[in-house]
Amino acid sequence: MIIAPSILTADLSNLAVSCQEAIDAGINVLHLDVMDGNFVPNMTFGPPVIKSLRNALGDDVHFDAHLMISNAEECYMDYINAGCNHISVHVEATTHLHRLVMAIRDAGATAGVVLNPATPIETITEILPDLDLVLIMSVNPGFGGQSFIASVEGKIRRLKSMIDQQVANGGRPVQIQIDGGIKAHNIAMVGEWGVANCVVGSGLFNKQASVKENLQALKTALEV
Ligand code: DX5
Ligand code: ZN
C-alpha cells in the first residue's frame, strides 16, 4: 500500500519543514492538493509554491498533484514545469478529458482522473485504458479532516473489477487511489476493496503525534 501524505493539513507556514519531516519518516511521495476557490470552496497553492518546494526538497520525492481547479486544461503544464511527476484531474471539471490525459502523458508525467463521491465510475469507462491512476474521493473535496464516506466501497470494488478485466485483456494496469478520511482504523479495509494508494492528510499531520508515529500506526494497521 502506498501512503501519500496530503500536505493540506501540514503546517503551511513551514511547508518545507513539514514535508521534510515526512520524508525523514520514510515517505517518498507528497500529495499536493491544489485548490482554486472556484471548483472547490477553498484555495491553497499553485505552481510557484510547488516549484519552491521542489527546490527545497530535491528531485527524489514524488510530487502527486491533485488539481481541484476549473482550468486544468489550460494550466496543467505549469504544474509539470513546477516539478510535479503526476497530475490528477477531476472528470467533473474537464470538458476534453481524453485530450488532457494524453497531453499530460506526452509531457512526461503520469496521468490520473479523480471522481467526486457522487460521480459514477461509468464516466471513465472510455478513458480507463489510457490512465495510470484513478483517484476515488471518499470526502467531498476542499478540506482535510472530514469524515470518511464509506458508501464509496461499491464504486471501488466495481472499478477494481473493471481494471482486472482490462489487464486480463492485455490492457494496462491502473492504480486505485483513495483520498479523504483515511486513518489507521480503515486503511486495511480499503486495501481489501482494491485500493493500492492511500492519501492521508490529518491522519499524518496532526497535533496528537508526530508524522513518524502516525505513519507507524498506519503501517501497523496494514500488517494485521
Ligand atoms: C480534500 C483533499 C484531500 C484531503 C485529505 O479535498 O483532496 O487530499 O486533504 O485529508 P484527510 O486525510 O484529513 O481527509
Ligand atoms: Zn487530495
- Per residue in 79-96, pLDDT (tens digit) is 999 999 999 999 999 999
pLDDT of residue 224: 78
Order of strands across the sheet that contains 29-35: 2-5, 197-200, 175-179, 133-137, 110-115, 86-90, 62-68, 29-35
Identify the domain containing residue 100 by its residue range. 2-223
Tell me if 88 CB under 6 Å of ligand 1.
no
Tell me if 86 CB under 6 Å of ligand 1.
no
Helix (H) or strand (E) holding 113: strand 110-115
Catalytic annotation present for 33 = yes
Protein residues with C-beta less than 5 angstroms from the ion ligand 2? 33, 66, 179
Residue nearest to atom 4 of ligand 1 (CA): 144
pTM beyond 0.85: the answer is yes
Tell me if 32 CB under 6 Å of ligand 1.
no
Share of the chain above pLDDT 90, in %: 100
pLDDT of residue 181: 98
Tell me if 203 CB under 6 Å of ligand 1.
yes
> How many structural domains are present in the chain?
1
What CATH number corresponds to the domain at position 43? 3.20.20.70
Q: Catalytic residue, from 33, 36, 64, 132: name it.
A: 33
